[in-house]
Structure 1
Amino acid sequence: MVDQTDDITPWLARLPKVELHLHLEGSLRPATLFQLAQRNGVELGADSPAALTALYQFNDFNDFVRLFLAGLATLRTAEDFTDATVALAAELAEQNVRYAEVTTTPGNHHRRGIDMAEYRDGLNEGRRRARAEHGVDLAWVCDISRESEDPGSEWTVDYLLGPTAPDGVVGLGLGGVEDGYPPELFTSSFARARAAGLASLPHAGETVGAASVWGALRALRANRIGHGIRSLDDPALLDHLVAHDIPLEVAPTSNACLKLVPSVAEHPLAHLADAGVPVTLNTDDPAYFQTTLTTELLVAHRLHGFTTERLLAAQHTALAACYADPATKARIREELTDFAASTSADQP
């Protein structure tokens, strides 16, 4: 557990932040999940948010999947998607996150029989309220669930190019089970998405090796890589990421919780950064992994030697790698510059 009394915490609290790898469906804290479950008559096996918290102490990936699916079951109407988005925005605002690209999986909701116009309307209203009520700008990355979507159907990209897609979509993602579902299967979907002006933002190298990252780069022409920690398996791949300035969306607590690394302290974050790979820090599924972006930055500082200079640089990296409009980017860049100028350079 990271010591929350570390002297750097006030500095971290004030630091303007950008997050690039965050799943809406993995952001449902116990209070929000309980509220949604009561509204929709979903039985979660807990009679209060406090009792529900115990379910967030999962032991393995299967426990996580069960909780994640229970969370999905509570999202049914436009109001539900709006409330989930606004709750996330409130949490981000408390951490001084100024902009976030939030992943959501439309196919998962379509397969559950959700009206996709309701899904769109809920996300649109949630995004509007995030900005109006909390000062947080959100954009969407809509991803394909590898094991659930027939690659030949191209359902997700068809959806994104159709009338019920939400506003503010900046990229096509690729999530789910890597083993047995290589990026190359989805080449056509990503080609169509890129032709429509969307970024290519797949997960790769999270649970399987460097070949998955190479596939995302070569077949999908990835602009960023979600996770990508197995890039360390191949020195040539590391050199490629550095030479082509391709950022990794790194989420140490997530990787430790899913037993992909032995512990947060043994995560390869520092090795990736020391190799010169552009790294950004992220929460992935913050509610279920019981983390925040501020905590991830504190982990990087306390356990991986990230100085305040490197933490600030990681925010500039995230800002440069994001798909915010130019005015939003300029505003946040100015905030980061002003913050650096106003704070002590000799923080720990």
Structure 2
Amino acid sequence: MGIDAWIGRLPKVELHVHLEGSLRPATLLSLARRHGVDLAGDVEALYRFEDFGDFARLFLAGLNVLRGVEDFADATVALAGELAAQNVRYAEVTTTPVQHHRRGVVLEEYADGLDEGRRRARDEHGVEIGWICDISRESEVPDSHLTVDFLLGRTAPGGVVGLGLGGVEEGFPPEPFASSFAKAKAAGLAALPHAGETVGPESIWGALRSLKADRIGHGIRCLDDPALVAHLAERRIPLEVAPTSNVALKLAKSPGSHVLGELVRAGLVVTLNTDDPAYFRTTLNDELRMAHDLHGFTRRALLDAQVTALEASYAPAATKAAVRRELDDVAL
């Protein structure tokens, strides 16, 4: 069997994909028409950017089509259909409540939309979703606890597995958000912040020490600090690596020059992810093929990466057991 067919049939787990970054042009157009949103005739313009700051502005502009229950449900189902086509069995999908709340979206409707979308993802596509609701660094006052209080309240969506921290990393260190993460962890949620994407090792150290991070979103800048690499490797703290995202945002010069292989050779726990697949025009299959072609991942290494992602996930025990049985049956 050729490598493309083999990758396509491999059962998969994804840990770092943003719902708001998964809106392919067809979904965006459909939602825009529903609300009479004028996209100025150039949908592709929303998918062009030069750097992280430019991308963040475009990302926020694309949120305008997500307004009510039906929109969030349809966006979730569209993502689930795409995941199912790649044989993704379980995904932890990040979404940002405060960004929607500040636009006037009623959080009860947001939660209802996520619940409906998660149900339909399972029923229509066989994809199990766990939610990571993240704090937007630049949008939430640290001691306001807006996101974590929403997650711990009666209107929270079902299936939330962790609290994240996203948005613009530069100028917004993790330490001020420590109390939100302490509150979340006390309630049984995992700490799943982005760190070490556009800022160096100090961001990752801050996430580990102040937020008690269970995984690190991106984390590629850990290589700038050998002591941090040793700490991550010893503690077996997983990194959610998204190579195409890093290239698109000019954090790596090219797919071949990405530090993916270096991270693995350093003994770190590495998972492969898409981040914002619509904006970066990638799929999880694409990420695995790139790892194979450019970074020496054998079929065994690709299979092991899925086992690693499954073990690093917060999937229900029954889901973990079912996916593990599928992975155990994969022929190399």
TM bucket normalised to smaller: over 0.9
- Deviations along 1:5-34, one digit per CA (max 9) or x if unpaired, are x93101000000000000000000000000
Does the Cα contact within 8 Å between 2:46 and 2:62 map onto a contact in 1?
no
Q: Which amino acid aligns with 1:16?
A: P
- Deviations along 1:182-225, one digit per CA (max 9) or x if unpaired, are 11111100000000000000000000101111111111110000
1:303-314 equivalences in 2 (<5 Å): 303-314=294-305
The 2-side partners of 1:228 and 1:173 are apart by 14
The 1-side partners of 2:68 and 2:246 are apart by 31
The 2-side partners of 1:184 and 1:54 are apart by 35
Instruction: Tell me what 1:182 maps to.
Output: 173
* Superposition deviation, residue 181 in structure 1: 1.2
Pick one of 237, 246, 251 that aligns with 1:246: 237
* Superposition deviation, residue 62 in structure 1: 4.4
Instruction: Tell me what 1:34 maps to.
Output: 29
The 2-side partners of 1:59 and 1:196 are apart by 40
| 2:6 is the alignment partner of 1:11 | yes
Instruction: Tell me what 2:75 maps to.
Output: 84
> How many aligned positions are there?
332
The 1-side partners of 2:314 and 2:185 are apart by 13
The 2-side partners of 1:160 and 1:242 are apart by 31
Instruction: Tell me what 1:3 maps to.
Output: none
Instruction: Tell me what 1:227 maps to.
Output: 218
- Deviations along 1:25-64, one digit per CA (max 9) or x if unpaired, are 0000000000000101111112xxxx52354233333442
Q: Call closer, same or farther: CA 1:234–1:62 in 2, change over 3 Å.
A: closer
1:51-90 equivalences in 2 (<5 Å): 51-53=42-44, 55-90=46-81
The 2-side partners of 1:187 and 1:52 are apart by 39
Instruction: Tell me what 1:206 maps to.
Output: 197
Aligned residue for 1:263, secondary structure, equals: coil
Gap regions ≥5 residues in structure 1:
1-5
| 2:310 is the alignment partner of 1:319 | yes
Instruction: Tell me what 2:284 maps to.
Output: 293
Does the Cα contact within 8 Å between 2:198 and 2:251 map onto a contact in 1?
yes
Q: Call closer, same or farther: CA 1:62–1:177 in 2, change over 3 Å.
A: closer
Does the Cα contact within 8 Å between 1:90 and 1:130 map onto a contact in 2?
yes
Pick one of 194, 208, 214 that aligns with 1:217: 208
Does the Cα contact within 8 Å between 1:32 and 1:87 map onto a contact in 2?
yes
Q: Which moved more, 1:60-69 or 1:299-308?
A: 60-69
TM-score by length of structure 1 reads 0.93
Does the Cα contact within 8 Å between 1:108 and 1:145 map onto a contact in 2?
yes
Q: Which amino acid aligns with 2:308?
A: T
TM-score by length of structure 2 reads 0.98
| 2:106 is the alignment partner of 1:111 | no
Pick one of 9, 17, 20 that aligns with 2:15: 20
Does the Cα contact within 8 Å between 1:44 and 1:70 map onto a contact in 2?
no
The 2-side partners of 1:59 and 1:230 are apart by 20
Q: Which amino acid aligns with 1:118?
A: E
* Identity within the alignment, %: 69
1:165-180 equivalences in 2 (<5 Å): 165-180=156-171
Question: Which structure 1 residue ranges, 4+ long, deviate > 6 Å from structure 2?
Answer: none
**CA RMSD in angstroms, aligned pairs only:** 1.2
The 1-side partners of 2:310 and 2:33 are apart by 38
Q: Which amino acid aligns with 2:97?
A: P
Aligned residue for 2:279, secondary structure, equals: coil
The 2-side partners of 1:61 and 1:326 are apart by 37
Aligned residue for 2:280, secondary structure, equals: coil
The 2-side partners of 1:112 and 1:55 are apart by 19
Aligned residue for 1:123, secondary structure, equals: helix
Q: Call closer, same or farther: CA 1:55–1:152 in 2, change over 3 Å.
A: closer
Aligned residue for 2:211, secondary structure, equals: coil
The 2-side partners of 1:201 and 1:94 are apart by 26
Instruction: Tell me what 1:269 maps to.
Output: 260
- Deviations along 1:43-93, one digit per CA (max 9) or x if unpaired, are 1112xxxx5235423333344234312320000010000000000000000
The 2-side partners of 1:335 and 1:61 are apart by 37
